[in-house]
Amino acid sequence: MVKQKLQEQGFRQENITTETYLNMRYEGTDTAIMVRRQINEGDYAAEFVKLFQQEYGFKLQNRNILICDIRVRGIGVTNILKPQALEPTSGVPKIEGHYKVFFDNGWHNAPLFKLEDLGYGHVMPGPACRNS
């Protein structure tokens, strides 16, 4: 069902993974621990005992382990944010105007460039101003 929901949102089957968790506790206790299924191991009970001892510092002997609930997390991966090659822009960027700016060595007449007019590879002589 998790994979189906992600496919309905536009994720392809090969871009979907799932993680399975069991919320487990010892019989007679109130505190549950969320146990994730380890990739090469399917033994939730052993992982629960290890996590319980890590959290509380002891093991409870001769107690049944109960499963309170099951959770499946679906992960859909997109390639939206993968880097894309940019074509270098040649030429000089268009100057929209000039501003007087002050630096340690005095006043300068700085060119103003609009962000949408700048491309990859443009070089702006400084000092310069950029307006988005």
Assess contact for 103 and 127: CB atoms under 8 A.
yes
Q: Which of 129, 92, 89 minimizes the C-alpha distance to 110?
A: 129
Task: Report the pLDDT value the prediction gives residue 92, as an integer from 0 to 100.
Answer: 79
Task: Report the pLDDT value the prediction gives residue 119, as an integer from 0 to 100.
Answer: 86
Report which listed range, 42-46, 77-81, 106-110, 128-132, is most confident: 106-110
pTM exceeding the 0.85 threshold for the entire prediction: no
Across the chain, mean pLDDT equals 86
- pLDDT, average across residues 1-22: 90
Q: What percent of the chain has a predicted confidence (pLDDT) above 90?
A: 34
Q: What span, in angstroms and rounded, lies between the C-alpha atoms of 112 and 21?
A: 56
What confidence tens digit (pLDDT) does each residue in 13-24 have?
A: 888 999 999 999
Task: Report the pLDDT value the prediction gives residue 67, as an integer from 0 to 100.
Answer: 95
What confidence tens digit (pLDDT) does each residue in 96-116 have?
A: 888 898 888 889 888 888 888
Task: Report the pLDDT value the prediction gives residue 85, as an integer from 0 to 100.
Answer: 79
